[in-house]
Chains A and B, each alone.
Chain A
Amino acid sequence: MIEFYDVTVMFGGGPPALESVSLRVAAGEFAFVVGPTGAGKSTLLRLIYRDVLPTRGCVRVLGRDMAQMSPREVPHLRRHIGVVFQDASLLPRKTVWENVAFALQVIGASRATILREVPRALSVVGLSDKAYAYPETLSGGEQQRACIARAIVNHPSIVVADEPTGNLDPATSWDVMQVLRHVNAHGTTVVVATHDREVVDRMRKRVIVLDKGRVARDAEDSDYEGVAASSGVFLEGDLH
């Protein structure tokens, strides 16, 4: 589904944002990308939806080599990838319903599709009752859920989330993560960049640790530090 072969990304001068990164995310997988600020998490995600091209190496997404894809094909690739940002990036003058519908409108979907898919996406993220609210009247967690609804409304194969819980309190973060887990449970591949240690520890998913642009560790069923047992005990109390 997502394959990186020895990928290096350099922005102008300075040290590379990513260096010799090789990894593979299988269809249906849920993976965290963690690391301190500047480690290269966002760059890694942007490679997936072809917002950045590798300086060296090869990125393949959905079987296609990103470097060989023509600009005309990019919009069609992106229709299979839902993106969720840290700052919800909802359009302030549109209601939640309109924001979610926007994702379908801009790809020229029919009215019937919009009327069918928007309510479905809103119910998946539990926002059906806020459909006609404007983003500014929503809590941070609700905004992120609206953003996830927009990302999944077109049934993408992959959902990419860049620090979706960056500004949220722990309980709300957990809620948002549950929505992503739910999306993943229905077969969508999910890649989440975060430095929210608590969330990662509790989810028990694959964790790719980046440090200064390199993969420092890549472990299945892991926690932030890779010390599974202790954090599991530590989190027991918060879960319920």
Chain B
Amino acid sequence: MKVSPHHLEFFLRETFINIRRNGMMSVAAVSTVLIGLCLLGAMYLATVNLNLWAGQLAQQVEIYVPLQDGLSAQDLQAARQRIEQLPGVESVQFVSRHQEWQELQQQLGRQMDLADFESNPLSDSFDVRVASPEQVPATAALIKQIHGVDKEHVDFGGPLMNKVLALRRVVWLVGGAAVILLGLATLLIVGNTIRLTVLARQREIRLMQLLGATDAFICVPFVLEGVFHGVVGAALAGAVLTASYQALVRWLSASLPFLPLAHAEGLKGLWVLLLFAGVAFGLAGSVISLRRFLAVCEPS
């Protein structure tokens, strides 16, 4: 059989007859898809942002090594050599307190009034880059033992990054479990809606079978119905998430300006994910119901 617009028209009409007849169940199915996908989407957005943050931190991992005040040029040179000889150290860059003060002023000038400080509160320091983030804690510990280093204030981004990575693990674990549970619930409810439609149209299905319709042909309107639930649920979830995410980003960037946040790029992926998941839920739900029903219809 060649599928023509004429067949499509038939399928679509049958699909909408089903949806209309099944009013309340259709609403229930779309709502569950909506809730399930909102959760999936929220998890996606959280992950995108945490990845962004972790990635940025990973790039920035360097050990801040402040030096004691009034260090002689020789001591400074000796300290530098000893740090360079530590395993895993890639580069050591000297940052004078004046240079850093200027950079800080440029970075924060808009947010903080640095004029409050009468004099430069910073000290000279080394920025030490290490080959891999995992080596940072050990290297930092060794650096603290070097003469001339202000060991109280040696610092690196490690703890924060570990927290971000831990947070991402929690999001994946909790979110993943919730998504799986809600996914099952969604499948169940979409499947059940299709089952009710199938039962409501049992006579028609039987008639189609006796008229010589193939199972595939009979299934099309029901599968389309399932996909319709999925797509409408996904569209609603997309709208809800987009609106709330934009509001959240606006609020966060006002109150936490340092937090790296994904903007429009994150949302494009969100729509793709939601539509894909919605269609998948709709398809799976209806196919599971139909397989069971059509198998029962076989003569024994």
Contacts and interface: CB of A to CB of B under 8 A. Distances in A.
A108 B300 contact: no
Given A51-B210, A83-B210, A91-B204, A110 B299 contact: no
Contacts of B209: 75, 78
Contacts of B17: 93
A78 B211 CA distance: 6
Given A49-B210, A53-B300, A106-B211, 16 more contacts: A51-B210, A78-B212, A79-B211, A79-B212, A83-B210, A93-B17, A102-B207, A106-B212, A106-B217, A107-B211, A107-B213, A107-B217, A108-B1, A108-B7, A108-B217, A111-B6
A240 interface: no
A52 B300 CA distance: 6
A183 interface: no
A106 B2 CA distance: 13
Interface in A43-101: 46, 49-53, 71-72, 75-79, 83, 89, 91, 93
A77 B217 CA distance: 16
Interface of B: 1-4, 6-7, 10, 17, 203-204, 207-215, 217-218, 298-300
Nearest to B3: A108
Contacts of A50: 299
Contacts of A93: 17
B235 to A, nearest CB: 29
A105 interface: yes
A150 B10 CA distance: 18
Contacts of B10: 105
A154 to B, nearest CB: 8
Contacts of A79: 211-212
Contact of A52 (B2, B4, B299): B299
Interface of A: 46, 49-53, 71-72, 75-79, 83, 89, 91, 93, 102-103, 105-108, 110-111, 150, 154
B212 A89 contact: no
B208 A106 contact: yes
Contacts of A77: 212
A76 B212 contact: yes
B203 A75 contact: no
A89 B211 CA distance: 12
Contacts of B204: 91
Closest 8 A-B residue pairs measured CB to CB? A79-B212, A106-B213, A108-B1, A78-B212, A75-B212, A75-B214, A106-B208, A111-B6
Given A50-B299, A106-B213, A91 B6 contact: no
B213 A75 contact: yes
B212 A110 contact: no
B207 A89 contact: yes
Contacts of A78: 209-212
A49 B211 CA distance: 10
Given A89-B203, A108-B7, A53 B211 contact: no
A78 B17 CA distance: 26
B299 A53 contact: yes
A103 B1 contact: no
Given A51-B299, A53-B300, A71-B298, A110 B213 contact: no
A84 B10 CA distance: 24
Nearest to B204: A91
Contacts of B1: 107-108
A107 B212 contact: yes
B221 to A, nearest CB: 11
A101 to B, nearest CB: 10
Nearest to B1: A108
Contacts of B218: 106
A107 B6 CA distance: 13
B116 to A, nearest CB: 79
A231 B151 CA distance: 121
A102 B7 CA distance: 12
Contacts of A83: 210-211
Nearest to B295: A71
A91 B207 contact: yes
Contacts of A150: 211
Contacts of B207: 89, 91, 102
A105 B7 CA distance: 8
A162 to B, nearest CB: 11
A106 B1 CA distance: 11
10 contacts: A75-B209, A75-B213, A83-B210, A89-B203, A91-B204, A103-B211, A106-B208, A106-B218, A107-B213, A154-B212
Given A50-B299, A53-B300, A91-B204, A110 B211 contact: no
